[in-house]
Amino acid sequence: MIRHIVMWKLAGDTPLSKQRNVERLTQSFLSLRGRIPGLLHLEIGVDSSGVDYACDVVLYSEFESQSALDDYAIHPEHLRVKAEIGDMRIARHQVDYAVVPSDVRAKELT
C-alpha cells in the first residue's frame, strides 16, 4: 500500500475568500471517492492551528500500489480536479511512501 499526502497553502485576500477556496478544494477532491481504481481511502483535513506558517489543507490518501498511484496521477478525474484548483494554490508539498506491514517492521526492529 502507498500513502499519498499533499498539503496546500491557498490563495485568498480575505478570510472569506480563503475559506471559499478551502471549500472548493475539499469538494473537488471528495468527488474523486469511488471514481479512481486502486484508491482505497481519501480524506481532506483543514488546518485548525491558525499559525501563519501552516498549510491550509491536507489530502491524505491510500492506494493499493505504486502503479495505482501512478494511474491516479494521469486519471481524467484527477486531472479535472487539478485544473479546478490550480488557480487557488500558493504552495504545494507532497510525500508518498510505501506502508510496511507491522509484522515486517517488527522483525526489522529486532
Q: d(Cα 59, Cα 57) in Å, to the nearest integer?
A: 7
| Mean per-residue pLDDT, 72-85 | 97
Q: Return mean pLDDT, the chain.
A: 94
CA 36, 41, 43, 49 dihedral sign is negative
Residue 24, domain CATH: 3.30.70.100
Side chain identity at residue 24, one-letter code: R
Per-residue confidence (pLDDT) for residue 107, from 0 to 100: 61
Residue 35: domain span: 2-109
Side chain identity at residue 103, one-letter code: D
Q: What is the dihedral of CA 32, 88, 21, 93, to 10 degrees?
A: 60
| Mean per-residue pLDDT, 40-62 | 97
Number of domains in the chain: 1
All three cell numbers of 75, joined, read: 486519471
Is the pTM higher than 0.85? The answer reads yes
